[in-house]
Structure formats: structure tokens, C-alpha cells
Amino acid sequence: MVDVAIVGLGPAGSMLAKLLRPGLSVVALDKKGLDDEKTGFRKPCGGLLAPDAQKALSRLNLTLPKSVLVDPQIFAVKTIDLQTGLLRYYQRFYINLDRHQFDLWLESLIPQAVRVERNALCTRISRVEGGYELLYRQNGAERRLLAKVVVGADGACSLVRKSLFPARRIRQYLAIQQHFCEEHPTPFYSCVFDGRITDSYSWSISKDGNFILGGAFPMDGARQRFEELKKGLASRGFLFGEPLKTEACLVSVPRGLGGLCLGSADAFLLGEAAGFVSPSSLEGISYALSSAIALADSLNKGAAKGIKKASRLYARKCLPIQIKLLLKGLKALGTRSRFLRGLAMRSGLKSIRLLEPEDERA
């Protein structure tokens, strides 16, 4: 029986595995492969690193390698309201990156003492005497793992959350993305609102010669909503050829603090599995890193004082994250209200005007 089993090696799981103290025996299960494009899991993601995520990496004195960066680096977001036709540009400081390479880079920081099981799909988690039993499928074989502590860093579809905390449900959307060959004369990043299609938002990003269009949609008729989005944007000058690929995944969107779940006792949740996703932008990497730092510190200190102590410490360290999510929820109410959004965009507050002539209506 190992001390800690981590399910999922996205930013949250990898950062936790990196930061846990050497005295703990740790096994990490991840369904990603290293290089296999066809069979290895790749999370659908626009691949923008927000300032808060950059700050979290800075706290750990980490710098991004060139291999995770892509072209171009864009410093303004083209914000479009399809219902009113309003268009504004706002300055933003995101880093454009390859999300899969970013995840692999974080994995590369994990100490060799941590046993990493790749291409490992966890299928069942249950409590047993002294801890938890995890069953997982790897390269066609069924395997079994026993752990005193289990950590769910396995995203919106978290098996750890479903298995151990089934009553703590959270609102979910279907995120859909399509990749196209870039045909626009000038690459850009856009944020699109249309309450007729989704009460969340949609996005586009130019990336290494490709153009990615995505959005988060209610589960009912999600694909039809995505096609309506494409039609609306095509009529406003967006260029779409034949899609190179289509990808989709569930995304958790907390509504208040009721959808958040940190875990309890000897089972913990990180990042999106805990519900740590911005309700306004759906950004989750910064929360994944911050919650991993909080849990690592809690487990490292709690190992000597008892797991219950670690659980209380983790809850306390996550209070700033929860407060921040509440504020993001208030922002989401504003950006997704047609009236308030239109009022803000018409005012031009904090917007920038391009030197090239540009209509203020899309």
C-alpha cells in the first residue's frame, strides 16, 4: 500500500506529484500517452496561459521552455457580442501555448521517486480497510493499486468525485472545438457572446498556422448550437474551411460555492475535479496549480500530524481560491447579461482602438 495515489496528471496532478515530500510513497495514474497522437489522450483546450497561472509558476521559480510556446503571441482580445453586433478590443496578457506539450513539460518535473503509470485509465475506486483500492486498465491489462490517500486531479469527469462524493454535483457544459487551416490575413484571439446560443461564451485563437474555434454549450443540442455559432461568425467575416478535427470534453462551471468539493478526511480533490474553474472565463490552469500547491503543503505538514490535520489545513488554504471564484461569479453575471455587457462595451471603458480603421460593429 502506497501513501498517496494521484488520479490524473494534468497541471494539478503533476504539480502535486512534484511538490510532495520525498518521504511519501506516491503513484500517479494518467490516461495520457507520451507521444501517441492517435491513442494518447489530449485535453481539448484553447491553450492560453492566463496571468494568474503565470504567477503561480513564478511562485515556484519555474520558467516555460520554448518547446511549449506557439505562434503567434497576441496581446488583445477581439470581443464580439453577436446579439448586438458590438465589437471591442481589450488588452490581455495571455501566453499562447501547446496545451499537450505544456502538460508533458509539467510531467517532466515530477521526481523519479514518484511512480508514474501512463496510458492508465482508472475504472473503479472504493474504500477498503486502511485506505482505497483503485482498479485501472493499462495496455489491455487490468491492474490494482492500494493507497492510504487518494487524490482526484482527473478533471470535470472526475471518477474520484463521482465514486466518493456522488452527492456533490456540479453544473457541466460540453466544450466543443474545431481546428481549421488559418486563412485570416491577420491572426487574432476572440471572445464571443451570444445568449441565444449559450449562457456561457465562445472563443477563437490562431495557433501555429491553425485556427481554433470553440465554445461551452448546454448539453441539450450542443452540436447544433456550435454550428449556429459558426454561421453567425462566418457572416461577420470569420473564415472556415473544412475542419481538420473536432474535439469535445465536459467542462465544470461552478455556480456559487455549492458546486465546490475539496474532499474529506483521506480523499482530496484538485483543480477542475474540485470545481475550481472560473465561471466567467472557464480558465482553470491557475486554480489547478494553486490548489496543488495548497494540498502539497497540507499533506507534507499533515504527514507527521495526521491526515485529518492535513484535511483541515487544505480547506483553510483553499479559502482565497473560493473567495476569488465568488468574485469571478459576480463578473460572470455581468458579462453574460446582455444589458450589462452592452452597457460596458458601448462605454468603451478599458478598450483599445486599433490604428487601422475598424468598424465598432462586427
pTM reported for the whole predicted model: 0.91
Query: What is the residue extent of each domain of the chain?
Result: 2-347
Is 2-347 a domain of CATH 3.50.50.60? yes
Per residue of the chain (362 residues), give pLDDT as tens.
999 999 999 999 999 999 999 989 999 999 876 554 444 566 777 889 999 999 999 999 999 999 999 999 999 999 999 999 999 999 999 999 999 899 999 999 999 999 999 999 999 999 999 999 999 999 889 999 999 999 999 998 899 999 999 987 888 899 999 999 999 999 999 999 999 999 999 999 999 999 999 999 999 999 999 999 999 999 999 999 999 999 999 888 877 777 899 998 899 999 999 999 998 888 999 999 999 999 999 999 876 566 668 888 999 999 999 999 999 988 888 888 889 999 999 999 999 988 765 544 44
Per DSSP, which regions of the chain are E strands? 2-7, 26-29, 48-49, 76-81, 87-91, 95-96, 115-117, 120-128, 131-138, 141-152, 172-181, 189-193, 202-207, 210-217, 245-252, 263-264, 267-269, 351-352
